[in-house]
Amino acid sequence: MFKGSITALVTPFKNGNLDVESYENFVEFQILQGSAGIVPGGTTGESPTLEYFEHKKIIDIAVKISKGRVPVIAGTGSNSTKEAIELTKYAENAKADAALVVTPYYNKPTQEGLYQHYKAINDSCGIPIIIYNIPGRCVIDMSVDTMSRLYELKNIIGVKDATGDLNRVDAHLKAMGKDFLMLTGNDENAHEFNKRGGSGCISVSANVAPNLCSKFQKLSLSGNFDEAKKIFDQLFDLHNILFVESNPVPAKYSLSLMKLMNDEVRLPLVTASEISKEKIRKVLEQLSII
């Protein structure tokens, strides 16, 4: 169910507020362009600066607009276990298909603390949970042993791996077997990730090029790696340029060029510099996106 090109949705704003109309249209755009799933309320959706009611609202919108056509994996993580439980319960009640729960940032828990955090969430709900391991943002790195322990719990089904370490795919496969869901959080390693046994990508680039990302994933997951590599190579510059400044700043500027929303972000993020805008525009033109 959770495989292929899954978009980590940006959250559009207008004059400081959630831009509901643009968000609804954007969810529909993603589905029509072939995305295999959507993630509202993740890092790319600027979850750290979303008001609590906004976070819940974008989950509701994603479920309402998708109408079961693609799975909705709601971002419900927090460095507060209590808050993560509340958001995950909300996502379950809102009929999201799964929850994406990031490792607790800033607190720097031990491996046992990580285990107990996820166990508490697991024990409080009945929705599938995907662990989001991203040491670059959260400082901590969940070990394979800890993930293996968590996989024994009823709701833990897999990982969004944003370590950038492809050897983790092999280690996870060895420790937990082929039924453990492995999605990469790094567009730039998606080809090799799938070759090693991954099932897709929770993607930033799919915000901007959902159709191409979907085609790449379908070819890759069907075992047609040579044809998939041709599309992957086409997308390579996009994967890089979308991180020329902090995510989702470049993605939002790209989407503004595509007339899908404006490029407004919330402090402490700021809109892209003129130098970055020029680089982004050039890549989008090369891909005939604009």
Tens digit of each residue's pLDDT (9 = 90 or more) over 148-177: 999 999 999 999 999 999 999 999 999 999
What is the model's pLDDT at position 172? 97
- Token pair in block for residue 254: 């790209």
What is the model's pLDDT at position 133? 98
What is the model's pLDDT at position 276? 98
Tens digit of each residue's pLDDT (9 = 90 or more) over 57-94: 999 999 999 999 999 999 999 999 999 999 999 999 99
The band of 215, judged by pLDDT with boundaries at 50, 70 and 90, is: very high
What is the model's pLDDT at position 74? 98
Please give the Cα distance from 89 to 95 (Å, whole number): 10
Helix pair angle (225-241, 210-221), 10° resolution: 150
Average model confidence (pLDDT) across the chain: 98
What is the model's pLDDT at position 71? 98
What DSSP assignment string belongs to 115-148?
HHHHHHHHHH--S-EEEEE-HHHHS----HHHHH
Who's near 141: CB < 8 A, 6+ residues apart? Answer: 133, 135, 163
Instruction: List C-alpha distances in Å: 3 to 36, 100, 270.
Output: 7, 14, 32
Average pLDDT score over residue span 131-154: 97
What positions carry a catalytic annotation?
A: 132, 160
What is the model's pLDDT at position 75? 98
Residue 11's closest CA among 180, 278, 263?
263
Residue 70's closest CA among 204, 214, 177?
214
Please give the Cα distance from 266 to 16 (Å, whole number): 8
Indicate the pairing of strand 13-14 with strand 17-18: antiparallel
Cα 178–Cα 165–Cα 212 angle in degrees, nearest 5: 75
* Percent of the chain residues past pLDDT 70, beyond the cut: 100
Residue 216's closest CA among 242, 234, 198?
234
Q: Which domains does the chain have, with CATH numbers?
A: 4-233 (3.20.20.70)
